[in-house]
Amino acid sequence: MGRVTDKELKNYYSQIGRLILCGRKQKKDFLCQLKENVEEFVSDTPEATMEDIEKAFGTPESIGGSFIENTDSIKIKKQIRLKKFLVIAVVIALIIYALFVVLSLIDVHTEAYGYFEEGFLTVGNMLKGGGVL
């Protein structure tokens, strides 16, 4: 691929993918089309550098910005809400799991070592079998 390495292109595509807010299928279709165009450009100009590719197609930031400008704002809001919902759901699930683990450990500890009751030991309690010295 000339002067452009596969690693540079992969990094370029991943940066663009992170900046595009849309559905998975739409993102995949867009990136596949972009990859085809970039590969065609590189095959036509074998000595192309990353700077040449960015001049021809744009920086990841400019591509992401133009994609957002051309996408319906309602779709973007839905995607952001969905991602927030998923993050919150995962965090809540982790908190519930952590509480379950802690309460289970407390239960196991109390079963293994018994309960400890504080109180006063009196002669009356000792005679009734309430305590042994």
pLDDT tens sequence across 90-101: 999 999 999 999
DSSP string, 22-61: S-HHHHHHHHHHHHHHHHHHHHHSTT--HHHHHHHH--HH
Quote the pTM value. 0.56
Under a CB-based contact definition with an 8 Å cutoff, are residues 22 and 75 in contact? yes
Give the model confidence (pLDDT) of 85-131 as tens digits: 999 999 999 999 999 999 988 887 777 766 656 666 565 555 665 55
All structural domains of the chain with their residue ranges: 1-71, 72-133
Model confidence at 74, in pLDDT bands (50, 70, 90)? confident
